[in-house]
């Protein structure tokens, strides 16, 4: 597919980010056609290049997180490095950064300076606590955002300390909010004032924004949501159960009509016909009893039999998938949720597919994350630098 067929074709993005939140946001933009120039330090670049499982010295995560991006190395403490960044930003549409607040200002790239340089520029700023408030200068990774934003407090079982979700979900949620904000700001620039603005995303607020009815429940009733393991108090039945072969099944039979079908599928017409279980409030009042009955039924059957029975009864249920399960599942395959990439040595490998699915202008992965500084020559030549000047910049430590 040509870039012109993608919805963000013609949008130029400069990324001053590292690790997860900022780079995940620009990855999404790049998948849908934005030109993303990732600016990295010449001294090793983004630390994500060395995170988790490495292939010939480079993180497999990096190859996915930086796909479709160009890598330009700039020493932002060097005058020439700063000059090149200004030249890039002079006609850019979006700057994405996730430094601690104040760092860019010290380098001479605060909002006032950038807005004067390029009034149409949108600046997406992602940080632990936002650009204002008493905590703005504190460092804050996704784990801190998840903790302060309420997610960690309600995750896990009530007889144990809080637990993490298994991925850096706080960073990823912040990235999604960041993409939403950036696109809204670009749309505003297009149809209204014609000028850019700052999109300020705090990791803790990004998580907090997902906390459902927590605020009004506390404000009106003084209710504090606590850890409840796999069940959802007030929404019954919905939980995880273990089958006879030691596998796990998520069953979500909390709709009124669904519960009746579920009860009959278990051979319990008495439950299906019990008027006290006809609505969610009644079922929730008897949730300990119901979960015990469901546990017993699932424990007498294999996972496959449970899932087949519930599928026939049109009851929402699923196995708890590992990546090994996902990679061979017909639904994932039918939706093209695994796409092929090529490692630097030519080896093919699987990457996650593109989300969301656009019917007319779908996203794609054109290439995997580049080597550090792989695009220095081409980017600088477009800015008007000669081969000799580029070589001198490297000698001087600017790139």
Contact of 287 with 237, CB cutoff 8 Å: yes
- DSSP string for 156-216: S-TTS-----SS-HHHHHHHHHHHHHHHHHHHHHHHSS----EEEEEHHHHHHTT-TTHHH
| DSSP conformational letter for 369 | P
Q: How far apart are the first and last CA of the chain?
A: 33
| DSSP conformational letter for 379 | H
Catalytic residue at 329? Answer: no
Place of tokens 């700057």: 95
319: tokens are 């196995």
Beta-ladder partners of 342: 348
Distances (CA, A) of 128 to 21, 210, 211, 340, 348: 10, 16, 17, 34, 36
Contact of 150 with 214, CB cutoff 8 Å: yes
Contact of 98 with 22, CB cutoff 8 Å: yes
Rounded Cα distance, 218 and 174, in Å: 24
379: tokens are 């980017």
Neighbours of 146 (CB within 10 A): 26
Task: Determine which one of 171, 256, 274, 329 is catalytic.
Answer: 171
Place of tokens 């995303």: 201
Catalytic residues: 171
């Amino acid at each position: 597919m040509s870039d012109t067929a993608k919805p963000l074709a013609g949008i130029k993005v400069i990324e001053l980010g590292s690790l997860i939140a900022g780079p995940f946001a620009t990855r999404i933009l790049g998948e849908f056609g934005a030109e993303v120039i990732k600016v990295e330090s010449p001294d090793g670049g983004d630390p994500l290049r060395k995170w988790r499982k490495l292939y010939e010295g480079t993180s497999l995560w990096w190859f996915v997180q930086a796909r479709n991006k160009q890598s330009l190395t700039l020493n932002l403490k060097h005058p020439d490095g700063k000059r090149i960044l200004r030249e890039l930003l002079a006609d850019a549409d979006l700057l994405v950064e996730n430094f601690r607040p104040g760092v860019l200002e010290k380098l001479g790239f605060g909002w006032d300076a950038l807005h004067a340089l390029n009034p149409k520029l949108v600046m997406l700023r992602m940080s632990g606590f936002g650009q204002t408030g008493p905590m703005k200068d504190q460092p804050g990774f996704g784990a801190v955002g998840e903790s302060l934003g309420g997610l960690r407090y309600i995750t896990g079982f009530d007889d144990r300390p809080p637990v993490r979700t298994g991925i850096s979900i706080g960073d990823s949620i912040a990235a999604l909010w960041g993409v939403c904000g950036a696109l809204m700001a670009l749309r505003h620039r297009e149809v209204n004032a014609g000028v850019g603005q700052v999109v300020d995303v705090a990791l803790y607020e990004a998580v907090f924004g997902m906390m459902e009815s927590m605020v009004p429940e506390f404000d009106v009733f003084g209710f504090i949501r606590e850890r409840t393991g796999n069940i959802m108090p007030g929404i019954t039945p919905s939980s995880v159960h273990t089958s006879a072969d030691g596998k796990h099944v998520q069953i979500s039979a909390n709709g009124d009509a669904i519960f009746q079908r579920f009860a009959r599928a278990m051979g319990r017409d008495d439950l299906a016909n019990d008027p006290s279980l006809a609505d969610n409030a009644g079922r929730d009042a008897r949730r300990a009893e119901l979960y015990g009955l469901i546990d017993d039924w699932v424990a007498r059957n294999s996972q496959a039999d449970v899932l087949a029975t519930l599928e026939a009864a049109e009851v929402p249920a699923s196995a708890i998938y590992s990546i090994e399960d996902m990679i061979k599942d017909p639904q994932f395959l039918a939706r093209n949720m695994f796409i092929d990439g090529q490692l630097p040595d030519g080896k093919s490998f699987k990457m996650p597919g593109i989300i969301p699915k656009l019917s007319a202008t779908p996203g794609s992965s054109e290439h995997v994350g580049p080597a550090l500084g792989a695009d220095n020559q081409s980017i600088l030549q477009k800015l008007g630098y000669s081969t000799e000047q580029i070589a001198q910049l490297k000698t001087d430590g600017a790139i």
